[in-house]
Amino acid sequence: MTAYLIKRILWMIPMLIGISLISFFIMHLAPGDVTSNEASFNPRASEESRQKLRELYNLDKPVITQYGLWLKRISQLDFGNSFASHQKPVLWEKKDKSGNITKGLIQESLPITLMINLLGIFIIFSISICLGTLSAVRQNTWVDRAITLFVFIGFAIPGFWLALLLMYWTGVSNQWLPISGLHSPGFQNFSSFGQFIDLLKHLVLPVSISSLSGLAGISLYVRNGMLDILHQDFITTARSKGLQENKIVFIHALKNAILPLITIIGLSIPGLIGGSVITESIFAIPGMGKLFYDSVLMRDFPVIMGILTIGSILTLIGNLLADIGYAWADPRVRKGLVK
């Protein structure tokens, strides 16, 4: 087990280098750089300043050199500063000589994206287990069909369309929920509990919409997994021994069905992070997805590379944790019987 873990962790390093290399070169395929944003097309702005900026950011050097310089910085855990937002640090806050702290871009946006995604995973986990189990236990009845249909529709709806419809219905026609953002404008004056509730209200729509598509796949997976297990011999044995149906389903069968779920959820992390671009844009949530999209359009290379690196690390860790979780939960693996 430990050997396996160590091997996995060591593999992460060449993988990260591979990821960063691919990303770096893809990025430089594009024409243009941070000095070519729309604002700089102002007749009163001069070309020399743009040229100076390019030199400052090493943008006039060959791509290999730029990659080498970046790699050197990363090895010292220095992700650099953003080009576009005037030297805001990419990863973590910096203190200047007077003690003023400027927070890092990823430091500010990652917790938000993580919060939404973790809440999303929790919701997907809980709801899909319920729906999948229900579906399996009541296989081929109308309950099963209804749940399957509902779950499929959830997967098939274009996210931003549903988002706008819900925003209109819950925010404009009926003023139940806020429309966008993470906080109400005057929230600093609320009590702690008030702020907590305010945040929850703002999160209802974004989290629901971003977890909707994951719900479908996983519910189905649970259903199929449960069906497999419920037909196995040991369940029939348990029934013939007279165990209560509830106990059979929830304790024996479910435990086995959840195992592969852990891996699946680990594998769906990249999808959740990637899908967040649209959700964050519509709901005005300053997360990593929106940051990435903006950086791509602005050719803000340090931020793009920083996000891809951090995103990949998170995904690799997520998969590793999922594998570990699986290995730990499945006594067969733990005891070395099955790898």
User: What residues between 137 and 166 interact with another protein by CB under 8 A?
Assistant: 139-140, 145, 148, 152-153, 155-161, 164-165
B/e letters for 118-147, b = 16+ CB within 10 Å, e = fewer, are ebbbebbbebbbebbbbbbbeeeeeebeeb
Q: Is 158 exposed, middle or buried (0-12, 13-18, 19+ CB in 10 A)?
A: exposed
- Residues near another protein (CB under 8 A), total: 122
Q: Which residues 59-78 are close enough to bind another protein by CB under 8 A?
A: none
| Span from 71-79, 303-311, 320-328, 331-339 in contact with another protein (CB under 8 A) | 303-311
User: Among residues 2, 75, 76, 98, which is the contact residue for another protein, using CB under 8 A?
Assistant: 98
Q: Which residues 199-238 are close enough to bind another protein by CB under 8 A?
A: 200-201, 204, 216, 220, 227-228, 231
Binding mask 250-279 for another protein (x = CB under 8 A): x---x------------x--xx-xxx-xx-
Q: What is the closest distance, in whole angstroms, from the C-beta atom of residue 333 to another protein in the complex?
A: 18
Closer residue to another protein in complex, CB, 1/267:
267
Closest-CA residue to 163 (of 280, 273, 277, 282): 282
Radius of gyration of the chain (CA): 24
In the structure encoding, which two tokens stand for residue 204, read together? 């209802």
| Span from 63-71, 237-245, 301-309, 331-339 in contact with another protein (CB under 8 A) | 301-309
Q: Which residues 181-200 are close enough to bind another protein by CB under 8 A?
A: 181-186, 188-189, 197, 200
292/125 Cα distance (integer angstroms): 27
Cβ contact 70:77 at 8 Å = no
In the structure encoding, which two tokens stand for residue 86, read together? 């005037």
| Span from 39-47, 68-76, 237-245, 331-339 in contact with another protein (CB under 8 A) | 39-47
